[in-house]
Chain A
Amino acid sequence: MTPNIMLVDDQPPRAALLERALEDLGHGVQARLTSAAGLAGKVRAGAPALVLVDMDAPDRDALESLALDGDDALPRPLPLFCDDEALVVAALRAGVSAYVAGGSDPAWVREVVAVATARYREYRALREELEGGVADPAAQAQIDAARRLLMRRRRFNEPAADAALRRQALNTGQPLIQVARSLLAFADLLKARGGP
Chain B
Amino acid sequence: MIRLEKRPTPSRFWLYATPPVAVLLTMIVGGILFAVMGKNPVEVIRTIFWDPLFGEFAFYLRGQLLVKAGPLILIAIGLALGFRAGIWNIGAEGQYIMGAIIGASVGLAVFPTENRLIFPVMVLAGAFGGWAWAMIPAILKTRFNTNEILVSLMLVYVAQTILAKASTSFLKNPEGMGFPGSRNFSSYPAAQNGYLIEGLGLHWGGVAALVTAVLIYILLTRHIAGFQIRLAGQAPRAARFHGVNPTRLVVLCMGISGALAGLAGLFEVTGPAGQITIDFNTGYGFTAIIVAFLGRLNPLGIVLAGFLMALTYVGGEMASTNLGLPAAAVQVFQGMLLFFLLGVDVLTNYRFRLSGGAAVAGAK
The answer on A and B forming one complex is no
